[in-house]
Amino acid sequence: MVTAQQIFNQSMDIMDKRSATGSIDATKTARYKTRALNIITMWQNEIATELMMIIPDAITDLTQNITVTDAISGQYYLASSLLLTEDSDSASFFQEKFIENKRLFLSKRPAKITPITDMYGGFNYGNY
């Protein structure tokens, strides 16, 4: 399972917010962390909707597990949303990466076979 903290850390990496020592400075990323919970919840809801799942509970703590199984697009969604007002070029790039990875994730799901019911008659009902 992926946690919200892992998605946050990956977002900080792609946004280049990790220091040379390999740590994420909490004082420099505090405002990002504050906004991250709601943004990760929005991403999780979007993916759940695409998967036709029940909308999961809101993320209230970064230690929470993510309900959806998509672990490849969340960091880009978060990064694009966090950078939207600061750096629109980077935000646009991350938004494109999110869409690309979301499509990749959704394309790898097995197709469901659903029977089709003929509602208009035809040969089966003697109406020719």
Provide the residue range defining the domain that includes 67.
4-125
Measured CA to CA, the distance from residue 50 to residue 102 in angstroms comes to: 10
The count of structural domains within the chain is 1
Backbone torsion region of residue 16, taken as left when φ is above 0, otherwise alpha when ψ lies between -120 and 50, otherwise beta = left
In order of 59, 121, 122, 127, the CA distances from 118 in angstroms are: 43, 6, 8, 12
Q: What is the pTM of this model?
A: 0.77
pLDDT 10s per residue in the chain (128 long)? 889 999 999 998 888 888 878 888 888 888 899 999 999 999 999 888 888 888 888 999 999 988 887 778 889 999 999 998 888 999 999 999 999 988 888 888 777 788 887 676 656 655 55
